[in-house]
Structure formats: C-alpha cells, structure tokens
Structure 1
Amino acid sequence: MPSLFAQGLRLSKNALFGTFMGRATKLLGKPFKVLTIVNEVADKLADAKSKDNKFKQLFNSALTIVRLVRSYASGDYRELKTTTIISGLAVLLYVLAPVDLIPDFIPVVGWLDDLSLVSWFAGKFHTELAQFRAWEDRQAQPAASEPARGDRSLPAVAELGHS
C-alpha cells in the first residue's frame, strides 16, 4: 500500500482536485468566503476523535493549514507564495466537500483521501508550514521591547521633559 503522501500526490494530480484548485484561485480574493470555508473545515476536523498517532499528527497539520489560510485571508500573515495558499485552500475545499473521490460517509476509508491530501500538502510545503508555526509562536509571545503597564523602572513622561 502506498504511503499517505504518495496517495496525496496522486490525488493532487487528479482532475477533481484541479477543480478545487480553480475554485481556490477564484476564492482567494474573497476573504469572507475563505474564512467561512476555513471555519467549516475547522468544525469538521474538531469532531474527529483520535489518539496520539500519525492520524492525530495529520489532523494537527490540517488544523495548521486552517490557521494558515485564516491568517492569510485576514491579512495577518502574507509571508508565502500565492501557489502555496491556493494549494492549501484547495486542500481545505476538498476536505470540506461531502462528495469527493471517496465519500466521507464511508467509515475510516472516507477520510483517507482527505488525510492523504493533507499529508501531501504538509510534505510539499513543510518549510512554509514550519515558518508559519514559528510566526505563530512569535505572535503568541509578548513583545520584549514593550514594558509592562505600570513599570516603575521606566521614567515617567514628565521626567523625559514633556509636560
């Protein structure tokens, strides 16, 4: 059996995924619609019950793609190529689609094509995902140059010669 990445690579070359790439390209200029899609995918993925294994890692990668596309659509993060964000959005559209190559209502197997595309994206764009996660980490940390409110070690405004 081929790896999930290999299956995802095969799916990424499929005409059906090409349709999602086209839709993603058209949607990219419509941030509200992109955010709606991202929220729907996040809700769909949040329902998954998985343990700490490779599938959980893939779900975490999928959620990273959701956050990446959301941050791009909101304008907070733009440090990536347009082709990367289009591919990420296309993967999310595919995951969200109720009817794809293997319909999601088929237990376990229905998610394999979705997960294989996530695996393909995570493998192909691993550098971009790592850069995005690093950016997220930097955003989560308070700026070192900003003093805490009420920090008495800093001079008061009047002490700086302002009145």
Structure 2
Amino acid sequence: MFGNQEKVKKEFNKYKNKALEFLNNQQKTGELLTQAQSKGKEQKHSLGNALGKLERLIELIKAYSKGEYRNISKSTLATVIGAILYFVSPIDMIPDFIVGLGIVDDAAVIGYAIKKISGELDEFEKWKSKNPLD
C-alpha cells in the first residue's frame, strides 16, 4: 500500500462519504464513469495493473446503474464510487500534476477499494461470467 495505510484510508473516506450523492443519480454517476474511463485511458501506462482493477469497478457500477446487477450492499457501492471519485479528483494526497507520482495514490486507493470489497466483487465476476455485459 502507498505510504501510510491510515492516511490513505482517511483520505479515501472523505470521498466515500461524497459517494452517497451518486447512488440514486444515474446522470451524475454516468458522468463520473465517463470521466474515470477517460482518465484511465490517459494514464494507462502510469496505472499499470490498477487500470484493470479500475475497469472492474466501473463495470460493477454500470451494471448496478442499469439495474442489471443488484446483489451488492450500499456500503460496497459507496466504496466503489468513492474510489472512482478519488481517482478522477485532480487534487488529492498527491496532486495529479506531479508527473510520475500523481497517479501513485490513485492506484493505491483503487487497490484498497478492491481489497475491501473483494468478496462482493468476486460474486459480481461470477455473475458477469454468466451474464455478459454490453
């Protein structure tokens, strides 16, 4: 984990609390996911394997937003959206404009979120293998 795990957790929780605003707003969620996909493409070389993890989180939220997948807790939804919000924010623990380092904390938060929701994410992956997404 990047730096001090408690610091990452504290920073992440700020964004997780903001995530609740997105749970029932499909337009706002769609805009967030578009931003995340765009930034992911721009930063694909810097993100390394965190890009694949980010894409999994985006797929989960898309499936939920479309009503295709509902076997997920509100806490997990807030965790995923919080991680995505953190990722798209240009000003966080290490601002994105710091070349070479600005994406490190984003990758750490994505990894933290994946670890935190691994059980529910595994269930989503099982569901997805039986129900291919668009």
Calculate the TM-score normalised by the size of structure 2: 0.87
Shift of 1:50: 3.0
Shift of 1:34: 0.5
Aligned sequence identity (%): 23
Q: Greater Rg, structure 1 or structure 2?
A: 1
Q: 5+ residue gaps in structure 2?
A: none
Which residue of structure 1 lines up, in the alignment, with residue 36 of structure 2?
41
Code of the residue aligned with 2:80 in structure 1: it is G
Equivalent positions of 1:121-136 (< 5 A) are 121-136=113-128
Equivalent positions of 1:52-91 (< 5 A) are 55-91=47-83
SS at match of 1:103: coil
Shift of 1:62: 0.8
Q: Which runs of 4+ in 1 moved over 6 A?
A: none
> Is the deviation greater in 42-51 or in 68-77?
42-51
- Aligned equivalents of 1:60, 1:23: Cα separation in 2: 24
> Is the deviation greater in 107-116 or in 42-51?
42-51
Please tell me whether the aligned partners of residues 7 and 116 of structure 1 are also in contact (alpha carbons under 8 angstroms): no
Q: How many residues align?
A: 133
Shift of 1:22: 2.3
Q: Per the alignment, do residues 95 and 8 of structure 1 end up closer, same or farther by CA in structure 2, a change over 3 Å counting?
A: farther
SS at match of 1:26: coil
Please tell me whether the aligned partners of residues 8 and 113 of structure 1 are also in contact (alpha carbons under 8 angstroms): no
- Aligned equivalents of 2:4, 2:120: Cα separation in 1: 21
Q: Per the alignment, do residues 29 and 47 of structure 1 end up closer, same or farther by CA in structure 2, a change over 3 Å counting?
A: same
Q: Per the alignment, do residues 108 and 60 of structure 1 end up closer, same or farther by CA in structure 2, a change over 3 Å counting?
A: same
- Aligned equivalents of 1:78, 1:7: Cα separation in 2: 34
Which residue of structure 1 lines up, in the alignment, with residue 108 of structure 2?
116
Which residue of structure 2 lines up, in the alignment, with residue 28 of structure 1?
23
Q: Which among 78, 84, 108 is matched to residue 92 of structure 1?
A: 84
Taking only aligned residues, the RMSD between alpha carbons, in angstroms, comes to 2.1
1:98-146 per-residue CA deviation (whole Å, 9 max, x = no partner) reads 11111111112100110000110111111212211221111129xxxxx
Which residue of structure 1 lines up, in the alignment, with residue 14 of structure 2?
19
Q: Per the alignment, do residues 7 and 68 of structure 1 end up closer, same or farther by CA in structure 2, a change over 3 Å counting?
A: farther
- Aligned equivalents of 1:26, 1:118: Cα separation in 2: 20
